[in-house]
Structures are given as C-alpha cells and as structure tokens.
Amino acid sequence: MQKGTGDVEIKDAIVLVSGANGGIGTALVEELLAQGAAKVYVATRDIDEGQRLCQRTAVQHGVGRVQALQLDITSDASVAAAVRECADVNVLINNAGVNLRTDFLAQAGPENARIEIEVNYFGTLVMCRAFAPVLARNAGSSPALLVNVASILGKVNLPIIGTYSASKAAQHSLTQGLRAQLSNQNIRVIGVYPGPVDTRMTAGDDSPKAQPQEVARAIILGLSGGEDELFPDRMAQELQAALLQNPKQVEKNLGASVA
C-alpha cells in the first residue's frame, strides 16, 4: 500500500472483491491486477465461476495473484469462513448485490424488497462487521480500505425500480455510519455510486449505460485519492451534480418514469 497520510495506492495491496463473477466485479479484478495488486481474492457464490475467472486472469497476470473464494454474503457461516481464509486482506470491496427491478406496488414488491435488503444492506453490513478487525489489524503507515459499491439511485429513488433504490439508500446510510465509526481505526470507508452499467443486472434496460471496464478503472484510480464518495461514470456524475443543485427537481424527474 502506500506512503502518505490518507492516500492509498493499490500496488501491492491484498484485496477481496465480492460478487466478482461478472460485470463490475470481474472488471474490478482485472483492473486491480493491472494496477499491481499483490493478491486478489475472487469471491463468488459459485466457486466454479471464481476458479474459471482465476484461470483466465492467471494467464495474463501470473499464477498466485488470484485466489478463488466461495462466499455467500447472506450466510454468517460463509462470511466467517472467508474471514479465516482471507486474514491478510487490507482492501475490501463489497461489490455483491442484486437488483430485481421491482416497483413498490408490484405484486412481488414486498418479497423482492426483502431479498434486495438481505443482500444489498444486511449482506454488506455482515461483511463490514466481520472484516473491520481484519482491516484494522492489516492497516499500516497508510489506511486500509473498506469500499462499498452502492448506486447513484441510493441517493434518489427511481420508482420503477423503487425497492432496489431503497436497499441502496440503506447501504449508503450504512457507509456513512461506518465511515465515522472506523475513522479512528486507520480504515478509510469509501462509497461508490455508479449509474447504469452494461451488465447482466441491467439487461433489457435501454437507457445509456457505461461499460464495466471504464467504471472499474475509474473506481480503482479513484481509491488513490482522498474522496469519500466516487462517481465513476458520466451519468452518475451528472445526477450527483443535479442533486447538489436541486434535489427536489431530480426527484420529480425520476418520478416521471412511472407516468
């Protein structure tokens, strides 16, 4: 990790990426390796998917720098096993998430909301609680990093996928609270707020979407700065700027999606 009092470099870091089996997660693994991370734990619910990703990346980046990890963030036992296996981590990227694309009044609204909250909020909470002592122990002259990949829709609700937005709002609040709680343990807590990204999660969405590779690169490069919040694509940046200027107008604009 790096010199300095607050800035962090990814070079030589040991990183765990949850939800690494596609989209932003896979792109993050590749970008971390390209930026010189010493080791990346590739965490997936299906260990076979993680092993296949490790095999692909090892061809370019070398054997030993990637390690497959079976992880279900909704399982306390699975998270506890990950803590035991990944005791050397000094950067945790909570990327695992789910979007069931449901509005609040849909028939499946309550059921899907529970699933999204279970993964996006409670799962992230369990990971943060479990790995906070690991990160504190492994922080050195520069801080360890705890990174939560949320969504710009955690800052304002998009009603057509309202239950997802609500779960990401909870994750955003979690990130804010942890930033305060962990500030005296040499752990930097960073929230990442992308807009729509071209992944399986957004299949069927015709809106303009950023590419996972460009989003991952912006995230990893952004970690070396001093910002608490990262907006890694153009739409997220524009929406954040609009929220700072006139949040009620943004709420009205997104609310028009149900008309």
Q: What is the mean pLDDT of residues 149-178?
A: 97
Return the higher-pLDDT residue of 179 and 8.
179
Asked if residue 244 is part of any domain, the answer here is yes
Q: Identify whether the C-beta of residue 127 lies closer than 8 Å to the C-beta of residue 80.
A: no
Sheet with 14-17: strands ordered across:
66-70, 39-44, 14-17, 91-94, 144-149, 187-192, 229-230
High-pLDDT (> 70) share of the chain, %: 92
Q: What is the pairing mode between strands 187-192 and 229-230?
A: parallel
User: Tell me: the pLDDT tens digits for 200-234?
Assistant: 555 556 676 789 999 999 999 999 888 999 999 99
pLDDT of the residue at 198: 77
Q: Assign residue 217 the CATH number of its domain.
A: 3.40.50.720
CA distance 20 to 92: 12
In this structure, is residue 4 part of a structural domain? no
Residue 75 pLDDT exceeds 60: yes
Residue 58: band (very low, low, confident or very high) from pLDDT cuts 50, 70, 90: confident
Residue 8 in any domain: the answer is no
* Residues 111, 27: Cα–Cα separation, whole Å: 30
Amino acid, res. 204: G
Both structure tokens of 124: 């992230």
Asked whether the beta carbons of 50 and 25 are under 8 A apart, the reply is: no
Residue corresponding to tokens 């690169």: 217
**Number of alpha carbons in the 13 Å side-chain half-sphere of residue 196:** 12
Long-range contacts of range 138-141, CB-CB < 8 Å, 24 or more positions apart?
Answer: 138/14, 138/88, 138/89, 138/90, 139/90, 139/185, 139/186, 139/187, 140/1, 140/90, 141/1, 141/3, 141/4
| Percent of the chain residues past pLDDT 90, beyond the cut | 79
At 3 the pLDDT is 36
Average pLDDT over residues 86-109: 96
**8 Å CB contact between 102 and 112:** yes
Is residue 99 assigned to a domain?
yes
Note the pLDDT of residue 7: 55
What is the domain extent for residue 251? 14-258
| Spacing of C-alpha 64 from chain mean position | 24
Question: Can you tell me the distance from the alpha carbon of 121 to that of 44, in angstroms, rounded to the nearest whole number?
Answer: 18
Looking at residue 4, its pLDDT comes to 37
Per-residue pLDDT band at 1 (split at 50, 70, 90): very low
For residue 113, give the 3-state DSSP assignment.
Answer: helix
Q: Whole-angstrom Cα distance, residue 20 to residue 43?
A: 6
Question: Of the ranges 61-65, 163-167, 168-172, which one carries the lowest mean pLDDT score?
Answer: 61-65
Tally of domains within the chain: 1
Model pLDDT, residue 197: 86
Residues 115-128 have a mean pLDDT of: 98
Q: What is the mean pLDDT of residues 135-144?
A: 92
Alpha carbon 8 to its chain centroid, in Å, reads 17
Q: pTM, whole model, 2 decimals?
A: 0.92
Asked if the model's pLDDT at residue 129 lies above 50, the reply is: yes
**Model pLDDT, residue 250:** 97
Q: What pLDDT digit, counting tens, does each position of 171-188 carry?
A: 999 999 999 999 999 999
Average pLDDT in the 120-128 region? 98
At 53, the pLDDT band (50, 70, 90 cuts) reads confident
Does residue 118 form part of some domain?
A: yes
